[in-house]
Amino acid sequence: MKGIDIVIVNWNSGAQLRECLQSIGNLFGEVEALTVTVVDNASCDGSAEGLPELPCPLRVIRNPANQGFGRASNLGAREGSADYLLFLNPDTRLHPGALSMPFRFMESEAGADVGICGVQCLEEDGGIARCCARFPSTWRLIGQALGLDRLLPGLVPPHFLSEWAHDTDRDVDQVIGAFFFVRRAVFDLLGGFDERFFVYYEDLDFALRARRAGWRSRYLAGARIFHRGGGVSRQISARRLHYLTNSKLRYARKHFSRIEAWLIEGAVLLLEPPARSAYALGRGRLGEFVDTWKAFGWLYGSLGRTGEDKR
């Protein structure tokens, strides 16, 4: 069916989810068929209650516990049948054209081999976010663990394409997961998101698998959204760092050789905590210092339970 199934994974997003849904409702008619599925990961702030009515079908799935982003996204995707899927963060608001432009591009001859499409993200001050990223290399992940991407960006390029203004269309390795427009045929081909990533890196992993299967990722500068960035994870920085680091190690085990994965693990587990601590203390950020050791304490406690991740 020519249309878009929008999947929003919600977890304690407060009023942001309503604002996101209202922005979708404002774009009704940009594509022929549109459905919205909100998968709520056991929010306790009432954010999934009393959602606004939309001029298109709105389905709410309530998980009894937080099942993570990838698993919840796959669950929402299975509820629809449209040719395209849009995985959208609740801390976004769509601008006019945000649905029609990616849809038309993917339907065009130029987009025939594009599996994933992203759009321009505007920040709270109206600036353009540097939101597209490179596929990680072994050296880059080790350099990031040491903070070299911030100290010596010429030697260790940062994860995001910060040197590019994001004001033109281009192919990229990965578009931001906050607006992840995917051809359903590609999503089905790859078996959806890898649910072993609880949160973070599942979109990067998906983009890499799509690239290896011959599908491009395309950034469209003409289509825009507002993205608050960080979302509710701003409120839980230690937990966010824990999940981010855990997913990074899982990604390394899955996509690099065993020796490379060991090198990355050694850098992350042994060198990253002191590097982060020195950076935080050097700037007088005591809270960041405490959060670093909270996050790595949880990570050390979980070692040995993640298993091998090749597949």
What pLDDT sits at residue 236?
58
Tokens 């281009």 belong to which residue?
Answer: 170
Q: Hey, is 240 helix, strand or coil?
A: helix
Do 94 and 121 touch, CB atoms closer than 8 A?
A: no
What pLDDT sits at residue 252?
97
Q: Which helix (H) or strand (E) holds 253?
A: helix 237-255
What pLDDT sits at residue 32?
85
Nearest to 35 by CA among 86, 103, 102: 86
Q: Which fold has domain 4-131+166-227?
A: Spore Coat Polysaccharide Biosynthesis Protein SpsA; Chain A (3.90.550)
Q: Which helix (H) or strand (E) holds 4?
A: strand 4-10
Do 227 and 122 touch, CB atoms closer than 8 A?
A: yes
Please tell me the distance from the alpha carbon of residue 67 to that of residue 41, in angstroms, as a whole number: 6
Q: Largest alpha-carbon pair distance within the chain?
A: 56
- Kindly state the tokens that stand for 157: 């390029």
Q: Which helix (H) or strand (E) holds 265?
A: helix 258-266
Domain ranges of the chain: 4-131+166-227, 237-304
Per-residue pLDDT of 180-215, as tens digits, reads 999 999 999 999 999 999 999 999 999 999 999 999
What pLDDT sits at residue 308?
46
In the predicted model, residues of the chain with pLDDT beneath 70 are: 230-236, 304-311
Q: Hey, is 117 helix, strand or coil?
A: strand
Q: What's 24's DSSP letter?
A: H
Please tell me the distance from the alpha carbon of residue 181 to that of residue 124, in angstroms, as a whole number: 22
Burial status of residue 168 (CB atoms within 10 A of its CB: 0-12, 13-18, 19 or more) = exposed
> At how many degrees (to 10) do helices 286-302 and 272-282 cross?
170
Please tell me the distance from the alpha carbon of residue 209 to that of residue 226, in angstroms, as a whole number: 28
What pLDDT sits at residue 303?
79
Do 205 and 162 touch, CB atoms closer than 8 A?
A: no
